[in-house]
Structure 1
């Protein structure tokens, strides 16, 4: 008798499945996406490691000397080697304030997009699945809000918060308020995207089968339809992170965001704007360049992700 042989099926790990995916394949061939991700990860790690790697703490008044104000970067004459990128008008080390400020801007950017996603997914699912009056009311609200520029809506909401909370616009409270402002101002983009995807999905057979099996509307929306609409959500969320960071910088520059004593990229740009004519250009230019690079790499990653999620557009 021939001994029976048993075959062992090898189940690939998640990493192996990811390496075999089209996403990983396209990423390996796209040098721009690789460089953008590398720069973005480096900026995020540097920002959130600010308490460990920053030369000074810009929140600690004992480490700030007004006599060191407006010192140029080390490659210019009259600089101090202790301040690599120079100092601002308050005598704070500019490198330290940029690291701490980038952390605040990233927190606001990610937090605002999470709030946008929560509101946009909820309203988009309700509008697309139920239709009728719910769809009409929610989408008309979105249309009215979209008829104004995002920044205008953020300025109006920011002014209301500023008048309401006044001196409370500091520290963690200011960060939370800016997350609310930007999240409320930009949720319609995600809502309309989700609604369009839901309209395409709800007529498919698996949704009809779920109804026949007696599943409730909430389960059908969140357990069955939502997972099939995540691709466009990921793409638009990536772009919205860059928009949220820009909105924070604009609001801070207009005096409706983070105060100058609480570093963010926007407040740093604003704090040095009055000193450009006096020759202290680095106070505004250096954090401005960091902001441009951060937004650029996020947008490049968003463009790559959009092309990958739609292979017909991908030319890698």
Structure 2
């Protein structure tokens, strides 16, 4: 009588994985993930959670501008976190602004990953001139500050296409600018992993079987180089959100009519000395918490992906 070996399902493999085991033992990772998921859910459920729609001019009254949060004398009950200089409910625009920042952050990282992984894979596997050209291009870009590259590209794009066009497609423009500014981190990391993988026996076996270079690269080598990509992506999401906030603060980000967290901080910066500090500090605190939990999750994931560094 023969017995058939049961192949574990993906869920079973995940349930027994070291990643989940480590997550269950690390309370800081659980707390950070819970806070991050709460912020993401609140942001993408903004149309249902927000008291008002900050994009609807009929719901905005300029006479309600600069009202304080509920714990300060003079607050109005319907404005929990107060209002900004235009009379918009601050809680509502923070929810909508967080959604914009997250979309830009995730979109920019996806673009970075596509470009960086592709260039790193080609450079590491093909070598020769392809490797030299792509890596020298990455070195040149890395010799400049990422924010400087983003500022220069953003200024050129805005001057070329015009302010009105830039403002109309600000989300797409910021994704392209930040994505193009930070792809070398992925390329260098993936290239190093590919150089280690392509000398292994399974790659030689694939060549002997007559498989083409494209199939070997994308079906065999690439899956074995993705672990560091996931770690980089976690940190790069936080970096992309910070870059968007910096560009918005410099006037190259989202317009005030469709604000992000960065443009909210910028719009309230001029009112700090007049006493309306909450317009800047409350969105700033949300931005700090969002970036902090993403970075802490990235640090934990980096340690888990390298068990020699993980201490439990």
Does the 8 Å contact 1:170/1:262 carry over to 2? Answer: no
Quote the offset at 1:18 in angstroms.
1.2
**1:81 equivalent in alignment to 2:77:** yes
Question: Counterparts of 1:1-316 in structure 2 under 5 Å?
Answer: 9-166=5-162, 167-171=164-168, 173-316=169-312
Cα distance, 1:14 vs structure 2 = 2.6
Cα distance between partner residues in 1 of 2:93 and 2:267: 12
The alignment's TM-score, normalised by the length of structure 1, stands at 0.96
Any runs of at least 4 consecutive aligned residues in structure 1 with deviations exceeding 3 A, and if so which?
A: 6-13
Worse overlay, 259-268 or 111-120: 259-268
Could you tell me how far apart the structure 1 residues matched to 2:225 and 2:12 are? 24
Residue 170 of structure 1 aligns to a residue whose secondary structure is helix
C-alpha contact 1:169 1:258 (8 A) present in aligned 2: no
Mean Cα displacement is larger for which, 114-123 or 6-15? 6-15
Deviations 1:50-83 (A, max 9, x none): 1111111111000000000000000100000100
With structure 2 as the length reference, what TM-score do the two structures score?
A: 0.98
CA apart distance, 1:12: 3.6
Give the Cα–Cα distance (whole angstroms) in 2 for the partners of residues 57 and 225 of structure 1.
48
Distance (Å, rounded) in 2 between the aligned partners of 1:52 and 1:282: 24
* Offset at residue 188 of structure 1 (A): 0.2
| 1:113 and 1:240 in contact (8 A); partners too | yes
| 5+ residue gaps, structure 1 | none
Report the CA distance between 1:25 and its aligned residue: 0.4
Find the aligned partners of 2:287 and 2:257 in 1 and give their Cα distance: 18
- The answer to whether the Cα contact below 8 Å between 1:66 and 1:90 also exists between their aligned partners in 2 is yes
Give 3-state SS (helix, strand or coil) of 1:44's partner. Answer: helix
How far apart are the structure 1 equivalents of 2:116 and 2:156?
22
CA-CA distance at 1:170 after TM superposition: 2.5
Alpha-carbon deviation of 1:15? 2.4
- Report deviation, 1:19: 1.6
Aligned length: 311
Q: Which digits, 9 at most, give the CA deviation of each residue in 1:171-223, with x for residues without a partner?
A: 4x110010000000000000000000000000001111111111111101000
Mapped partners of 2:30, 2:241: distance in 1: 22
